[in-house]
C-alpha cells in the first residue's frame, strides 16, 4: 500500500506544473492591485466571491487542459482547424491586444517596486526584463518550469502578511460564507473586476499549450486534473490573504488606495517594514511571473495559428518566431513603461474591458470543441459537466456585460 501511494505521488509530481503555474500567474500585478483595493475599500465583504471564482476557474481550465491532453494541440491550433484561418487570425489579433496590455501592466508592476524603494526605473526594470527573457530563451523546459513553480511558492509571502495583519476572524468568516451584494456601482464594479482579473484570455491559451508542451498524455488525465484543482485553490487562497491583509489594515483605518504601490506604502506605517517588504517583493514576484507566462502564452497562440515551432525546449534557431514574439512583448512593454506620463490606469481598464468581451467567445469555442466526439472521443463533456460549463459561461458573460457597461458609462 505504501509503495502504491509512493508511486502515485511520484507520478503526480511528474505531471504537476501547468495548472498551478497558470492559476498562480493570474495573481499578477493587476491581480494584486485589484485584491488590495477590494480589501481596502470593502473589507471582508467580497471574500465569498472567491469561492465562486475558484469553481469557475477550475471548470474553464480543466476543459482547456483536457483539450490539450487528448488532442495534443493548443487552443489556437484547434481554432484554426475547426473555424478556419481567417477567424483564427481575427481572434488571435484580439487576444494579442488583451495579452499585451496585461504584460504592460506587469512590467509597470516591476516599475512600482522600484518606486517603493526609490530606485531608478530605467535601471531596475530593464535588468529584470533581460533576466526574464534570458531564462526563457536559454533555459530548458524543466528549468523554466522549476523557476515558475518556485515563483509560485514565493506567494507564501502574502499569506504571511495576512497573519501579520491579525484580521477580525468573525468578520472574515462572515464575509467568506454570507453573500453580500448591494446594488452599489463601486461594489459591483470591483466585484466584476475581481472575477475578471482571475479568469483571463491568456490563461485559457497558456494552460492548454503548456500541457501539450510538457508532453502530458491521456493516461495522465487524472493527475493533470488534480494539478488544475490545486492551481485554482492556490490562486484564490493567495487572493484571499491579500484581501484580508488590506481589510485588516487599510479598511479599518479608512485608507483608500488606487494601486498596489499605494498598498505597499500604506502597510509600512501600519504593520512595519517587514510587512512592507513582503508585499513589495511579492509584487515583484507576481509581476515577473506574469510577464513570463503571459508572454509565452501570447507566443504559443500566434505560432500555433501560423503553424510554426513553439516549444520552450526548442533552441532560438529552431523556433525564432516563438522567441521573437516573447522578446517583442517584454522589451516593447519595458520601453513604454519607461516613457513619462504613460496612462497605465487607462491601459489597465482598457485591457480589462477587452478581456471581458473576448473571453465569453473563447469559452463558447472551447465548449464546442470539448463536445466534438470526432475530436475528443470518449473524453467529451457529460451532461453535468456541460450544465456547469454553460452556467459558468452565462454567468461570466453577464458579469462581463456589467463590467463593460460600468467601464464605459
Whether 9 has a pLDDT exceeding 50, the answer reads no
Whether 43 has a pLDDT exceeding 60, the answer reads yes
pLDDT for the residue 17: 58
Confidence of residue 362 (pLDDT cuts 50, 70, 90): confident
Average of per-residue pLDDT across 262-289: 76
Number of domains in the chain: 1
The model's pTM is 0.87
CB 196 within 8 A of CB 356: yes
- CATH code assigned at 90: 1.20.1740.10
227: in domain: yes
pLDDT for the residue 205: 86
Whether 402 has a pLDDT exceeding 80, the answer reads no
Average of per-residue pLDDT across 283-287: 85
Of 255-264, 316-325, 328-337, 396-405, where does the model show the most confidence?
328-337
Confidence of residue 407 (pLDDT cuts 50, 70, 90): low
3: in domain: no
Q: How far apart are CA 259 and CA 250, in angstroms?
A: 13
Q: How far apart are CA 76 and CA 82, in angstroms?
A: 10
Measured in whole angstroms, the distance separating CA 41 from the mean position of its chain's CA atoms is: 23
3-state secondary structure the chain: CHHHHHHHHHHHHHHCCHHHHHHHHCCCHHHHHHHHHHHHHHCCCCHHHHHHHHHHHHHHHHHHHHHHHHHCCCHHHHHHHHHCHHHHHHHHHHHHHHHHHHHHHHHHHHHHHHHHCCCCHHHHHHHHHHHHHHHHHHCCHHHHHHHHHHHHHCCHHHHHHHHHCCCCHHHHHHHHHCCCCCCCHHHHHHHHHHHHCCCCHHHHHHHHHHHHHHCCCHHHHHHHHHHHHHHHHHHHHHHHHHHHHHHHHHHCCCCCCCCHHHHHHHHHHHHCHHHHHHHHHHHHHHHHHHHHHHHHHHHHHHHHHHCCCCCCCCCCCCCHHHHHHHHHHHHHHHHHHCCCCCCHHHHHHHHHHHHHHHHHHHHHHHHHHHCCHHHHHHHCCCHHHHHHHHHHHHHHHHHHHHHHHHHHC
pLDDT tens-digit map of 70-86: 998 888 899 998 888 88
5: in domain: no
44: in domain: yes
pLDDT tens-digit map of 124-174: 999 999 999 998 888 765 666 677 666 667 777 878 888 888 888 999 999
pLDDT for the residue 298: 92
pLDDT for the residue 10: 39
CB 60 within 8 A of CB 199: yes
pLDDT for the residue 124: 94
Q: How far apart are CA 260 and CA 266, in angstroms?
A: 10
pLDDT tens-digit map of 301-338: 899 888 876 666 677 777 889 999 999 999 999 999 99
pLDDT for the residue 67: 92
Location of C-alpha cell 495573481: 27
Confidence of residue 7 (pLDDT cuts 50, 70, 90): very low
% pLDDT > 90, the chain: 19
Q: How far apart are CA 206 and CA 155, in angstroms?
A: 20
224: in domain: yes
85: in domain: yes
Whether 11 has a pLDDT exceeding 60, the answer reads no
Average of per-residue pLDDT across 34-42: 89
% pLDDT > 70, the chain: 84
Q: How far apart are CA 334 and CA 87, in angstroms?
A: 31
272: in domain: yes
Whether 382 has a pLDDT exceeding 70, the answer reads yes
Domain that holds residue 23: 17-408
1: in domain: no
**Averaged confidence pLDDT in the chain:** 82
pLDDT for the residue 352: 65
Amino acid at each position: 500500500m505504501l509503495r502504491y501511494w509512493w508511486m502515485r505521488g511520484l507520478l503526480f509530481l511528474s505531471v504537476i506544473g501547468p495548472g498551478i503555474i497558470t492559476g498562480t500567474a493570474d495573481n499578477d500585478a493587476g491581480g494584486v492591485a485589484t485584491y488590495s483595493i477590494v480589501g481596502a475599500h470593502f473589507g471582508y465583504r467580497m471574500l465569498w466571491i472567491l469561492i465562486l471564482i475558484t469553481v469557475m476557474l477550475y471548470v474553464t481550465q480543466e476543459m482547456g487542459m483536457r483539450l490539450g491532453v487528448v488532442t495534443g494541440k493548443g487552443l489556437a491550433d484547434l481554432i484554426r482547424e475547426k473555424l478556419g484561418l481567417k477567424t483564427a487570425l481575427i481572434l488571435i489579433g484580439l487576444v494579442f491586444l488583451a495579452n499585451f496590455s496585461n504584460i504592460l501592466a506587469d512590467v509597470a508592476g516591476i516599475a512600482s517596486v522600484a518606486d517603493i524603494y526609490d530606485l531608478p526605473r530605467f535601471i531596475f526594470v530593464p535588468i529584470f526584463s533581460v533576466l526574464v527573457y534570458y531564462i526563457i530563451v536559454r533555459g530548458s523546459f524543466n528549468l523554466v518550469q522549476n523557476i515558475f513553480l518556485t515563483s509560485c511558492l514565493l506567494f507564501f509571502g502574502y499569506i504571511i502578511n495576512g497573519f501579520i495583519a491579525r484580521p477580525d476572524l468573525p468578520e472574515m468568516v462572515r464575509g467568506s460564507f454570507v453573500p453580500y451584494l448591494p446594488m452599489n456601482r463601486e461594489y459591483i464594479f470591483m466585484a466584476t473586476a475581481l472575477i475578471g482579473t482571475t479568469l483571463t484570455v491568456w490563461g485559457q491559451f497558456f494552460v492548454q499549450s503548456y500541457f501539450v508542451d510538457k508532453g502530458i498524455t491521456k493516461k495522465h488525465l487524472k493527475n493533470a486534473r488534480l494539478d488544475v484543482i490545486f492551481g485554482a485553490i492556490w490562486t484564490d487562497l493567495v487572493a484571499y490573504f491579500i484581501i484580508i491583509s488590506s481589510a485588516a489594515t487599510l479598511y479599518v483605518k479608512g485608507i483608500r488606495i488606487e494601486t498596489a504601490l499605494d498598498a505597499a506604502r500604506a502597510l509600512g506605517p501600519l504593520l512595519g517594514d517587514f510587512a512592507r517588504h513582503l508585499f513589495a517583493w511579492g509584487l515583484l514576484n507576481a509581476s515577473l511571473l506574469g510577464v513570463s507566462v503571459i508572454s509565452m502564452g501570447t507566443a504559443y497562440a500566434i505560432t500555433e495559428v501560423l503553424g510554426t515551432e513553439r516549444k520552450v525546449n526548442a533552441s532560438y534557431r529552431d523556433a525564432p518566431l516563438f522567441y521573437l514574439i516573447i522578446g517583442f512583448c517584454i522589451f516593447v512593454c519595458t520601453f513604454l513603461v519607461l516613457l513619462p506620463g504613460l496612462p497605465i490606469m487607462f491601459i489597465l481598464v482598457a485591457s480589462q474591458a477587452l478581456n471581458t468581451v473576448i473571453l465569453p467567445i473563447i469559452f463558447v469555442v472551447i465548449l464546442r470543441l470539448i463536445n466534438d466526439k470526432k475530436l475528443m472521443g470518449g473524453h467529451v463533456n457529460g451532461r453535468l459537466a456541460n450544465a456547469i460549463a454553460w452556467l459558468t459561461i452565462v454567468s461570466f458573460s453577464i458579469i462581463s456585460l456589467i463590467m463593460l457597461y460600468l467601464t464605459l458609462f
